[in-house]
Structure 1
Amino acid sequence: MKTQIMSMFALLIFIISQIINIHGSHFQGGMITWKYKDNQVYITYKVSFNNHECDNIYILNRSLVNGEGSLMCYSGCHNTLVTPLSYYCTQFSDVDNWKYGQRTLNVTFPSTSDNIYIFGYRGGSWVSLAEGGGSWSLIATANLTIRQDNGRINSSPIAAMQPFVTVNKNCAMPYALIIPVQDEDGDVVRCRWAVNSITDECGSVCYILRNSVLDPSNCILYINAIPTTGLYAVALQLEDFGKQQDTIALSSVPLQFIVNVVDSTNPCENKPRIEIPVIVIPSYSMYHQTITARSTGSQIAEVNIVSPVGFIKSELLRYGSSNDRWYVNVTWTPTNEDIGIHIFCYTAIDVDRQASDQECKTLKIIDADGCVSNPCSNGASCTQLINGYTCKCAVGFTGIFCETDQIKMNRMNRIHKDELNSC
């Protein structure tokens, strides 16, 4: 009897250990952004895990990956916004064992006195890290008050970042990691470290890589010398400001990702380089791009992309008879739901785990109906083109949709300059 009890106890310990191995360390970062459109708030969440299913079939069929946890509202409302957080896989890596995807859902917030809402995603355990680890927390803050400067409700900034950034510890430091950001309202975007304040923006990874230097105005992370190899989490907040001198953010959104520090003896100057093609994107038709990487040392192992939902990436192919050039083809057919700004990024990695610098492009998707939908603002005239339209602005206005009052902006800049001079 005692032997049976011991055997059952050992079996129970084994089962628990397997559950821990499967579910205990699997989160690898993510991002939450939001956009106000058609009187609704569209929340986009991006997540990375190492234990979810994703392959080219998932991406091609736009199949939902079974998610976990819930997007919760913590201030302005107190309820579940989305559950579970299933998502469309956009990219994966068998080599580094990560899956990455996103989903956009519209949410209706209740009316409040200040129209400020705090919402986010919290849960389980980070992937095993060299430092820190445990619970995760991604928190976003949205202010849905009509802005005084442009008469519209604000939308948050967006960014595109590889979920898994590889850095060779033997190469010269600091390593400059540029975070590509955009803002549809044309606001000033700044980056800062996430903090464990009242809203708990970063769970158990708030102070990892804090010996590095963050340039908030340009959103560049300078990673300093790292003593050991392994995985390190980076937890940032992206915030937009109406003017350069403003100190109160219009919104705040989280960006968290992994820095994979490797010990490679391959010469640092031999890292892959992305060959950047000229990109032309016709609206509402299939977009195609060939991404070519050249290897100056080891063979290219993969080309990773960060993209909107629906991008299809081919297998890695040799460029003709070349021994040092490899490529992938990507295609995308945007729909009406994709109208707006998107950031598309790509990185090449060789077999020695050397990574190229990340290259990014801003993709603007415009209404397929063109001038029929009256897209131009402030009295501008609209001219229909074969693949879209163009707005001819009235005197004093600029921007793609003539949405910027240049005279007003120049006046504000002069006032600001005079204020600085008086100081």
Structure 2
Amino acid sequence: MKTQIMSLFVLFILTILQIINIHGSHFQGGLITWKYKDDKVYITYKLSFTDRSCDSTAIFNKTLINVGGSFTCYQGCDGTLMSSLSYQCTDYSVDENWKYGQRTVNVTFPSTPDNFYAFGYSSCCWVNLVEGGNNWLLLATANLSIRQDNKRINSSPISSMQPVTTLKQNCSYALKIPVQDEDNDVVRCRWASSPFMDECGGVCSRLNHTILDQNNCILYINTTVTTGNYAFAIQIEDFLTHQDTLPLSSIPLQFIVHVNDNISMCDEKPSIETTGSLGSMIVIPANRMYQQTIVALSINSVISEINTVSPLGMFKSELYPYGLLTDRWYVNVTWTPTTKDIGIHIFCYTAIDVDSQESDQQCKTLKITEAQGCASNPCPNYALCTEQLNGYICTCDCGTGNNFKIGVEFDIDITKYLCDCITLNVVSIVDSVMILCKLFSFIKNSNIYLYVLIYMYACIFISQCD
């Protein structure tokens, strides 16, 4: 009798644990980035779950949603940095059953001899996976020493990735991981690992038939595997040069690849009709509205969703037919960034059809500026302005023709540029020397004093320089 009671008790406990595991298995990956500003580290975490309350109303109201878990410091500091985390929902998918949100918090780290810190987000449990799972861990590192190249403290790279990517079984894919770096550092991707410091919790194993191009951050995936969910754990790192092997920082990107066995062909997936060049950068002054129409095409099926991975505060419309036919559908997105959003953001989107085929992810870099950048014509005297990730560049364009033309450009300080064009006919050695005289006379008038030796040298060959 006692044996039967004990057996029933064990069965009851196992059943309860199974129920807890089923309802607790909800994590689908995330991303941690950080930025140094005003003696603080601003940590942005972006997380995905299946069972969080997220809809258009929550996005519009910027509702704080509890997601649990904690941030723990593993090196350079001790203990829990944050607990019982919450976020604001930014995106969700009904078809793929994910909710995605983000939040930025600031942390003051204690001073250490090497200014190196490692911190991570952990809890339990992952969604049901074919391989691995249970506890999750996303680990980031930061070196807060002043850099030798620009005399500033580094900030981490950034990335963006849909939390669930749907792929068809027995097909081949090239999955591009978008990355950017405000310091213009070299960025590489590698597999997360656990031998020295655990970076990936229960998802450190790699999917068979998958190759990671570390220099270009491209995953080559052959889906000759069992259908189901597979977790990918990637570390994104920035380096001063291509030759460096010691990263300035390391950030985690983890996401799900869902392999299905739909009956469509591998090449029958939908596509996004691109406006502008892929990977292009769009400059948006703070407090000015950005608008974009995303059009998806499916020749062999019907579009059911256009999914986005958005910056906080971006709104997406309902899905509408584009034109009279049913092969094209679209959504409109709008965003009015504030001065808090100054910097770079990666905005990505995909389309999925009713047969569960998904388009390639497309992304654009949105650069939020306090001023209007090149739109404010900051480069005088014929200079051309080109937007950059961390500012703009003024370059001289003196044109072409039969005359000898010189473009002069220099930077007295990082925000002021001058430019001029000198046009002369070159007919003799004396004329050539006169070119030097006029060129360095222009430099002299621009308060650059290193002209002196060359200017005097040029005057030796002629009687005088004006």
Q: Deviations over 1:267-322 (max 9, x none)?
A: 22221110112486541212111100011111101011111111111111111322
Checking the alignment, whether the CA contact within 8 Å between 1:311 and 1:330 is kept in structure 2 is yes
How many angstroms apart in 2 are the aligned matches of 1:176 and 1:316?
A: 27
The one-letter amino acid of 1:198's match is: F
2:53 is the counterpart of 1:53: yes
TM-superposed CA distance for 1:6, in Å, is: 11
Partner of 1:74: 74
Partner of 2:137: 137
Q: Which moved more, 1:84-93 or 1:355-364?
A: 84-93
Checking the alignment, whether the CA contact within 8 Å between 1:391 and 1:400 is kept in structure 2 is no
Alignment partner of 2:307 out of 304, 319, 322:
304
Q: 1:16 to 1:234 in 2, by over 3 A?
A: closer
Checking the alignment, whether the CA contact within 8 Å between 1:391 and 1:402 is kept in structure 2 is no
Partner of 2:230: 232
How many angstroms apart in 1 are the aligned matches of 2:373 and 2:82?
A: 33
2:252 is the counterpart of 1:251: no
Q: 1:364 to 1:16 in 2, by over 3 A?
A: same
How high is the TM-score relative to the length of structure 2?
0.77
Checking the alignment, whether the CA contact within 8 Å between 1:62 and 1:88 is kept in structure 2 is yes
Alignment partner of 1:285 out of 284, 288, 305:
288
The one-letter amino acid of 1:69's match is: G
Question: What is the alpha-carbon root mean square deviation over aligned residues?
Answer: 3.0
Q: What is the SS of the residue equivalent to 1:268?
A: coil
Q: 1:317 to 1:8 in 2, by over 3 A?
A: farther
How many angstroms apart in 2 are the aligned matches of 1:113 and 1:6?
A: 57
Checking the alignment, whether the CA contact within 8 Å between 2:164 and 2:258 is kept in structure 1 is yes
Partner of 1:18: 19
How many angstroms apart in 2 are the aligned matches of 1:312 and 1:92?
A: 12
TM-superposed CA distance for 1:123, in Å, is: 1.4
Q: 1:35 to 1:57 in 2, by over 3 A?
A: same
Q: Could you tell me the percent identity over the aligned residues?
A: 57
Q: 1:370 to 1:179 in 2, by over 3 A?
A: closer
The one-letter amino acid of 1:247's match is: T
TM-superposed CA distance for 1:398, in Å, is: 12
How high is the TM-score relative to the length of structure 1?
0.84
TM-superposed CA distance for 1:106, in Å, is: 1.0
Q: 1:66 to 1:230 in 2, by over 3 A?
A: same
How many angstroms apart in 1 are the aligned matches of 2:343 and 2:205?
A: 34
Q: Deviations over 1:124-162 (max 9, x none)?
A: 121101111111111001000000111000000010111
Q: What is the SS of the residue equivalent to 2:267?
A: helix
Q: What is the SS of the residue equivalent to 1:270?
A: coil
Checking the alignment, whether the CA contact within 8 Å between 1:170 and 1:265 is kept in structure 2 is no
Structure 1 runs not aligned, ≥5 long: 384-388, 404-423
Q: Deviations over 1:106-127 (max 9, x none)?
A: 1111111110000001111211
Partner of 1:341: 344
Partner of 1:330: 333
2:356 is the counterpart of 1:353: yes
How many angstroms apart in 2 are the aligned matches of 1:49 and 1:73?
A: 23
Partner of 1:199: 197
How many angstroms apart in 1 are the aligned matches of 2:326 and 2:154?
A: 50
- Say which one has the larger Rg: 2
How many angstroms apart in 2 are the aligned matches of 1:170 and 1:10?
A: 39
Q: What is the SS of the residue equivalent to 1:140?
A: strand
Checking the alignment, whether the CA contact within 8 Å between 1:303 and 1:328 is kept in structure 2 is yes
Size of the alignment, in residue pairs? 386
Q: 1:346 to 1:399 in 2, by over 3 A?
A: farther
